[in-house]
Homo-oligomer: A and B are copies of this chain.
Amino acid sequence: MLRQASTTLPIRTSRPGLHEFTDSVRQFVAESGIREGLLTLFCRHTSASLLIQENAAPAARRDLEAYFERIAPEGGPYEHDDEGPDDMPAHLRSALTRTQVSIPVQYGAPVLGTWQGIFLFEHRRNTPQRRIALHLIGE
């Protein structure tokens, strides 16, 4: 019978950039007992975001981080800087990536491809604790 499961995943990082948390997500799905369904991850912040990306090559991760630093740089012509020079770039990099990702679940696991990992993309230097809301519906 169709049912739901929900939780909030707290994530604490020590530096800006991409932080993989695929294992925590897999564990939530496994423990729910739901075998087929739809999993949704929602980032409850506007200065951090989500990304599903290459999880094997650390160089790819560094290139991704450097790329977003180039296209949404600190020191741009911004009016808003209430929380410092990394405030507005954080909002822009969030707008360019994801606030939410949904992934179908089959055989009790998200159907990620071989090289896909789930990442929190932290855009602030003074990294606060982040909360990712997880929702799963299925049976």
Contact = CB atoms under 8 A, between A and B. Distances in A.
A106 B37 contact: no
The dominant DSSP class at the A interface is: mixed
Contact of A71 (B59, B66, B71, B101): B71
Nearest to A121: B95
Contacts of A97: 95-96
A139 to B, nearest CB: 7
A60 B45 contact: no
A104 interface: yes
B77 A66 contact: yes
Nearest to A82: B57
Interface in A43-62: 44-46, 51-54, 57, 59-60, 62
A46 B115 CA distance: 7
Interface string A72-112: 10001111101000011001101111111111101000011
Interface of A: 2-4, 6, 36-38, 40, 42, 44-46, 51-54, 57, 59-60, 62-64, 66-67, 71-72, 76-80, 82, 87-88, 91-92, 94-104, 106, 111-113, 115-116, 131, 133-135, 137-139
